[in-house]
């Protein structure tokens, strides 16, 4: 019986070591994320070719086999879907008949990917800052993308004030000791983002 217990403990130790060093779930997430980044890179090339011929970017970008998913043909034979959800990537063109810019967003599963910070999405990008990765046309940046370390948030008085960097290390959960009452911190450059009611960043 003792020998069986020793074998079980030994197998358990080896399993823990294996999972720590060869985390299969993380490797799966990173492989899916690699596909997402590759898809967005393909979009940027195809969209610039499209713009060169049409002087506009397409108004929609539906993935195959969605109905009428031919927005980038012949520039891109197959419009890829998100490999995990099977849905189209979030495509945000300029809201005019002839878009002159675009942004495309997705969420990488592996949140420690250094490219998230490289594109400025470590604190969220896109509508409502819900995405953590994206690409855009050369003439615009991703919405919300910033390497900003000068933050504003609602103080206990419900007035938007500057707060210390340490309060916003996790922008979704500001530290209680900072006296922050809002659910998020915001970069002080993002004056158009409403928070604390209608108050803007000082």
Span 146-199, pLDDT tens digits: 666 577 777 776 677 777 766 776 655 666 667 777 667 777 665 545 556 665
Note the maximum CA span of the chain. 77
CB 50, CB 74: distance < 8 Å: no
pLDDT, position 132 = 92
Span 97-117, pLDDT tens digits: 999 999 999 999 988 898 998
DSSP-based three-state secondary structure for 196? coil
Task: Reply yes or no on whether the pLDDT at 202 is more than 70.
Answer: no
Give the best-scoring range by mean pLDDT among 20-24, 75-79, 91-95, 189-193. 91-95
Span 16-49, pLDDT tens digits: 666 555 566 778 888 999 999 999 999 999 999 9
pLDDT, position 169 = 63
Phi and psi (nearest 5°) for 102? -155, 160
Using alpha carbons only, how large is the chain's radius of gyration in Å? Answer: 22
How far apart CA 103 and CA 142 sit, in angstroms, is: 6
How far apart CA 6 and CA 142 sit, in angstroms, is: 55
How far apart CA 46 and CA 9 sit, in angstroms, is: 55
pLDDT, position 48 = 95
CB 160, CB 137: distance < 8 Å: no
How far apart CA 176 and CA 124 sit, in angstroms, is: 21
């Amino acid at each position: 019986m003792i020998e069986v217990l020793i074998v079980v403990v030994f197998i358990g130790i080896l399993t823990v070591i294996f999972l720590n060093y060869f985390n299969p779930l993380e490797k799966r997430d990173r492989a899916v994320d690699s596909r997402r980044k590759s898809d967005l890179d393909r979009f940027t090339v195809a969209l610039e070719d499209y713009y060169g011929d049409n002087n506009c970017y397409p108004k929609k970008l539906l993935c195959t086999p969605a109905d009428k998913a031919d927005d980038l043909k012949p520039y891109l034979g197959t419009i890829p879907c998100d490999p995990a959800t099977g849905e189209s990537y979030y495509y945000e063109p300029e809201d005019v008949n002839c878009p002159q810019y675009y942004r495309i967003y997705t969420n990488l599963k592996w949140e420690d990917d250094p490219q998230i910070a490289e594109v400025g999405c470590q604190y969220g990008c896109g509508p409502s800052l819900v995405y953590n990765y994206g690409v855009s046309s050369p003439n615009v940046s991703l919405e919300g993308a910033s390497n900003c370390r000068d933050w504003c948030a609602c103080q206990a008085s419900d007035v938007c004030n500057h707060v210390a960097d340490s309060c916003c290390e996790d922008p979704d959960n500001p530290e209680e000791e900072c006296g922050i009452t809002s659910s998020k911190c915001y970069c002080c450059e993002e004056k158009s983002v409403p928070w604390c009611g209608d108050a803007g960043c000082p």
